[in-house]
């Protein structure tokens, strides 16, 4: 049996993560939950010796028909009852009492969801770590590479490409740290029985819960959380945050890779990567495009899970069912976005010469703020602002550089001469490298934080 969707038409784009979240993954996770419960029951003395091993040996997804389980699910509203019958049929008679004892369907599906999330998060954080490490390399390499800052998609004051890459890095690092935190503290086994009381196990209920958590490798919660969906919502929010970090990087790359800008380029990668069905010359930033395709679906999935998070009384009528597919999709898309992001940054190429040329083409206009600051001590702050504003309008109108436009205005040039300011002074004021503020310091600070985080992880692992 293959994982649903892994070989589909769009799977190469949106199901790229290292861990599957389709039918096979869910089925195996549910079987892992049942097997872990059987082993816990045996350890608690509530099942025959060897029952846990027998159930575990039978709990291989490849031996079950997911499609048939799905057809049977229409009778009960979920696939667990059919799975329990199928699993029981595959174990020796003396081990059957260990299958699903004390559990309800939600215990198995919720625990399966946590197991899948744990596996996906491990892979996602690894990919995000690789992406952030590469962003760190770009930040360090280009700490002094000047480029146009852009606000509202228009050139603003200059920045450095190193600072841009450092911004990507910190965003990815913080999203990864939140996923690590969720994985460490937000996941938990689910075991409460019919209404969260574990009544069918009598006084052994809590002991079995503890052993069940140990067997499946998940933390034990204080209480069963059948209708407290904060864990799901916290997980979903962290996944959406990771998609946002990946999407920010990808969006910047698509903008900077535009033909008219050309300041960065994706790696050519495989032959034909970036091609068009109609235009042979195209080199589309397809890696970034696919990341954005993943990331833009995350907010809607998060909203669905948030809307489904209010569960009534001891078991929800429909809200629980509404979680399964959106959570699967969000895990899948986050895994894909993270994997693509690692590839995007690994092959990203910057063009410092093009960055400087694009900045110079603006004729000093992005440095208007700096020029006004230079003139202020001589002319007064407001007068300097107005003088530069009028010169900027003339520069745009007449196709001149900002210093040339200022000198071409007799009134302005007279004020400059009276203040003892020369063309060389104006040209120096619009030199981009003279107006980078704390860019270099910020890059160093970001790199220090990144390295400290890496060292902390290395110590704790």
Please report which residue ranges of 348-409 form alpha helices under DSSP H.
Answer: 352-360, 368-379, 381-398, 402-408
How many Å apart are CA 269 and CA 388, to the nearest integer? 47
How many Å apart are CA 181 and CA 449, to the nearest integer? 17
How many Å apart are CA 334 and CA 120, to the nearest integer? 9
- Judge contact between 329 and 49, C-beta under 8 A: no
Closest by Cα among 167, 180, 147 to 447: 167
- Which residue among the candidates 315, 354, 444, 457 is catalytic per the annotation? 315
- Which residue among the candidates 71, 85, 200, 276 is catalytic per the annotation? 276
With H, G, I as helix, E, B as strand and everything else as coil, classify residue 148. strand
- Judge contact between 436 and 401, C-beta under 8 A: no
How many Å apart are CA 228 and CA 222, to the nearest integer? 12
Query: How many other CB atoms sit within 10 Å of the CB of residue 48?
Result: 17
For 300, residues 6+ apart whose C-beta sits below 8 A from its C-beta are none
Cα 15–Cα 70–Cα 304 angle in degrees, nearest 5: 55
276 is catalytic: yes
- Which tokens in the block code for residue 262? 């050309």
For 410, residues 6+ apart whose C-beta sits below 8 A from its C-beta are none
Query: How many other CB atoms sit within 10 Å of the CB of residue 221?
Result: 17
How many Å apart are CA 366 and CA 339, to the nearest integer? 36
Which contacts (CB < 8 Å, 24+ apart) does range 13-16 have? 13/290, 13/293, 13/336, 14/290, 14/293, 14/294, 14/332, 14/333, 14/336, 15/332, 15/336, 16/335, 16/336, 16/339, 16/340
Which amino acids are annotated catalytic? Answer: 276, 315
């Amino acid at each position: 049996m293959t994982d649903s969707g892994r070989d589909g038409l769009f799977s190469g784009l949106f199901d790229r993560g290292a861990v599957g979240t389709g039918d096979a993954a869910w089925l195996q996770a549910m079987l892992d939950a049942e097997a872990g419960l059987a082993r816990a029951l045996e350890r608690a003395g509530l099942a025959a010796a060897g029952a846990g091993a027998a159930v575990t040996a039978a709990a291989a997804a490849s031996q079950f028909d997911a499609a048939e389980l799905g057809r049977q699910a229409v009778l009960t509203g979920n696939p667990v009852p059919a799975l329990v019958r199928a699993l029981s049929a595959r174990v020796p008679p003396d081990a059957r009492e260990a299958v699903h004892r004390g559990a309800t369907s939600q215990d198995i599906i919720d625990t399966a969801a946590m197991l899948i999330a744990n596996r996906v998060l491990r892979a996602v954080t690894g990919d995000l770590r690789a992406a952030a490490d590469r962003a760190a390399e770009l930040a360090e390499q280009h700490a002094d590479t000047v480029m146009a800052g852009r606000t509202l998609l228009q050139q603003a004051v200059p920045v450095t490409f190193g600072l841009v890459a450092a911004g990507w890095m910190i965003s990815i690092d913080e999203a990864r740290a939140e996923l690590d935190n969720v994985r460490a503290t937000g996941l938990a086994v689910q075991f409460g029985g019919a209404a969260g009381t574990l009544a069918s196990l009598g006084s052994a209920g809590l002991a079995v819960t503890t052993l069940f958590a140990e067997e499946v490798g998940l933390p034990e919660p204080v209480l069963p959380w059948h209708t407290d969906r904060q864990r799901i919502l916290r997980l979903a929010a962290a996944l959406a945050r990771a998609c946002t970090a990946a999407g920010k990087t990808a969006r910047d790359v698509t903008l900077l890779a535009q033909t008219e800008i050309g300041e960065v380029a994706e790696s050519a990668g495989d032959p034909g990567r970036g091609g068009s069905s109609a235009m042979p010359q195209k080199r589309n930033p397809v890696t970034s495009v696919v990341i954005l395709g993943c990331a833009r679906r995350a907010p809607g999935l998060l909203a669905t899970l948030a809307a489904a998070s209010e569960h009534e009384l001891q078991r929800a009528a429909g809200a629980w069912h509404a979680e399964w597919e959106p959570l699967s999709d969000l895990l899948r898309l986050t895994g894909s976005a993270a994997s693509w992001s690692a590839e995007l940054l690994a092959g990203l190429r910057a063009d410092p010469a093009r960055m400087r040329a694009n900045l110079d083409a603006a004729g000093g206009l992005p440095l208007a703020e700096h020029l006004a600051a230079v003139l202020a001590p001589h002319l007064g702050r407001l007068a300097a602002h107005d003088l530069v504003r009028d010169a900027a309008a003339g520069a745009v109108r007449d196709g001149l550089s900002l210093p040339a436009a200022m000198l071409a205005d007799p009134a302005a040039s007279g004020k400059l001469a009276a203040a003892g300011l020369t063309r060389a002074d104006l040209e120096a004021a619009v030199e981009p490298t003279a107006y980078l503020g704390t860019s270099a310091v910020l890059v160093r600070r970001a790199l220090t934080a990144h390295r400290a985080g890496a060292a902390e992880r290395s110590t704790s692992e």
